[in-house]
Amino acid sequence: MTDTADLGMPAPSFTSHQLREARAEAVSLAEKNERLTRALTSARERIAELGAQLDAVTHPPVTLALLTGLRTRPDRAPDRAEESASVAAASVSASAPEALVLLGGRIMSLGLRPGLDPGALRIGQLVAVNDAMLVVDALPEPDTGEAVVLDEVLDDTRALVTTGSGATRVLRLGGALDAGALAPGTTLAADLRADVATAIIERTSVEQLVVAETPDVTWEDIGGLGPQIQAIRDALELPFTHPGLYRAYGLRAPKGLLLYGPPGCGKTLIAKAVATSLAAGGDGTGGERATGRTAAFLNIKGPELLSKFVGETERQIRAIFEQARRAAAEDRPVIIFFDEMEALFRTRGTGVSSDVETMIVPQVLAEIDGVESLRNVVIIGASNREDMIDPAILRPGRLDVKIRVSRPDAAQALDILARHLTTDIPLDPAELAAHGGDRESAAAAMRAAAVDALYARSPATAVLEVSYTSGATRTLHLGDLVSGAMLAQIVARAKTAAIKDELSGGAGGLSTARLLAAVAEEARQNEEITGATSPEGWARLIGAQSGPIRGARRLGAAISAARPHETQEGA
């Protein structure tokens, strides 16, 4: 065999060495190429970033204006200098759209940047105006401005509104507002300099305080308040159901009434029943007038209406009465119910840290006596501190009907219990058997046993010893502190005990024993018994009419009977 060296060919070891070197060089070149690619990519990104920064620095400033309308430039006769221009160019110039904007407090007509689509512009938008006074860009509608209240939508583009100062204005509706979806009373943000409403403002503060309920409480649902109910029906229902007779005698419906008395005795229930009754036509038959519409019951919590911001409470009061007038305009009876009225309309000049009532009371008086009549609107106030309400609110012509809702006596308590302990409730089989299966007789016996236990005059039911400034003393028993709310809670406790017995495998059902146990439990836990801490508080809680109270001492007999390890307390 011929040697490869003899033929002039490199040895295999030399070839392999060269191949390895070539491969190593190729790998090195590939790595260099990859590093170069990364460096170029990073340089391009840096150049783009620097270009963006340069653009931002050199970007010309723009001025923001409010778009109030679009128009086509009007035709005009060309002067002699323009006669040489082409007809086509003149036609294009004459039809070029322009934007009407509010800029610097003036309405101006500006041209649009070439390429800016006029169809994309909407009235009420913010637009950018450059140094050449051209509209170059469109921005969203502003959601701030002066708050106005919508009175009426005139057409698809205009609306009648009331400003914060009480003035009436006609504004153009912004493109973001749908005229068909706007309802009277809606709050809008507006630029009054441009006469444009731009956005809807959700004002939830009044809506949280005003609950426009549709009450379902009727007079039949209220027990033990027969005389008070009759007085209220005479005062409020007759003018609504027989307006013709009242006009013939020159009488008008009272603007409102005050329900006062101890807490838990049915003042809120009465207000709801008034709304239901007026919506039904008063006597259920319609009388001369039946509305055919549901009543609006605006339930306002006095303490929640108070605001630390100056003027905010007055604004909310105005909004409440405006809401009532809008509902009344639909021929619906409207009840404005102020619960805990003394917190809102306190006698002026009695404030400790600030006399906010000096502004709130005149505002509500202006609403009641204002030029805008409160037709179909009845104001009902509830309070257990009637002595703290400003006398101007209670004078004749305002809340001129005043009805005391007292604590129920034994006969009234039976009537109230009949609303809660009815014959359709499951009764204990042993209780039914004791009355020969007569459900009505068994329920009546249970109600009588509960009332006897509540109104018994014995040392076991003695609760308070009240001393008056005259030197007289009086012992109050549990029956002197009974309220409708307490009676409802007693029945609820007995029902809960019956349910628990049935769940544990017992017979269940209401029984006299469970009802009496509920009476004892309520006597121990009732907050009213220990709620007052001052002579004035005890006087309002008890509803005593025997003169000013000097003090009250808890006897604790009814409580210590169940908890003998506790000692009596002094008030």
The pLDDT tens digits of the residues spanning 505-550 come to 888 888 899 999 988 887 776 544 555 556 666 666 665 455 667 7
Q: Which residue segment(s) compose the domain that 150 sits in? A: 146-203
Per the model's pLDDT, the better-predicted residue between 88 and 537 turns out to be 537
Q: pLDDT band at 141, cuts 50/70/90? A: confident
Same domain, 460 and 539: yes
Tokens of 84: 């040489």
Give 116's contacts (C-beta < 8 A, 6+ positions apart). 135, 136, 137, 138
Cβ(65)–Cβ(102) below 8 Å: yes
Same domain, 198 and 99: no
Give 486's contacts (C-beta < 8 A, 6+ positions apart). 264, 522, 526, 528
Which of the listed residues 372, 387, 404 is the one where a domain comes to its end?
Answer: 404
Same domain, 372 and 483: no
Which of the listed residues 387, 404, 421 is the one where a domain comes to its end?
Answer: 404
Kind and range of the H or E run holding 540:
helix 535-542
The pLDDT tens digits of the residues spanning 360-385 come to 778 788 888 764 567 778 888 888 87
Mean pLDDT, residues 351-367: 68
The dihedral over CA atoms of 97, 98, 100, 105, expressed in degrees to the nearest 10, equals 170
Instruction: Please report whether residue 568 resides in a domain.
Output: no
Domain count, the chain: 4
How many residues are given for the chain?
571
The pLDDT tens digits of the residues spanning 250-270 come to 887 788 888 888 877 888 888
| Three-point CA angle 536, 541, 547, nearest 5° | 55
Instruction: Please report whether residue 462 resides in a domain.
Output: yes
Instruction: Please report whether residue 470 resides in a domain.
Output: yes
User: What's the rounded Cα separation, in Å, for the pair 400 and 344?
Assistant: 18
Nearest C-alpha neighbor of 302 from the set 272, 337, 331, 332: 337
Q: pLDDT band at 551, cuts 50/70/90? A: confident
Tell me the range of 179-183, 293-297, 357-361, 541-545 where mean pLDDT is highest.
Answer: 179-183
Cβ(488)–Cβ(418) below 8 Å: no
pLDDT > 90 fraction of the chain, expressed in percent and rounded: 6
Same domain, 240 and 384: yes
Which of the listed residues 404, 419, 454 is the one where a domain comes to its end?
Answer: 404
Mean pLDDT, residues 219-248: 83
The pLDDT tens digits of the residues spanning 452-476 come to 988 888 887 777 777 777 777 878 7
Instruction: Please report whether residue 57 resides in a domain.
Output: no
Same domain, 444 and 354: no
Mean pLDDT of the chain: 77
Residue 353: pLDDT over 70 = no
Residue 164: give its domain's CATH number. Answer: 2.40.50.140
Same domain, 400 and 415: no
Instruction: Please report whether residue 15 resides in a domain.
Output: no
Q: Return the number of other C-beta atoms located less than 10 Å from residue 109's C-beta.
A: 13
Residue 371: give its domain's CATH number. Answer: 3.40.50.300
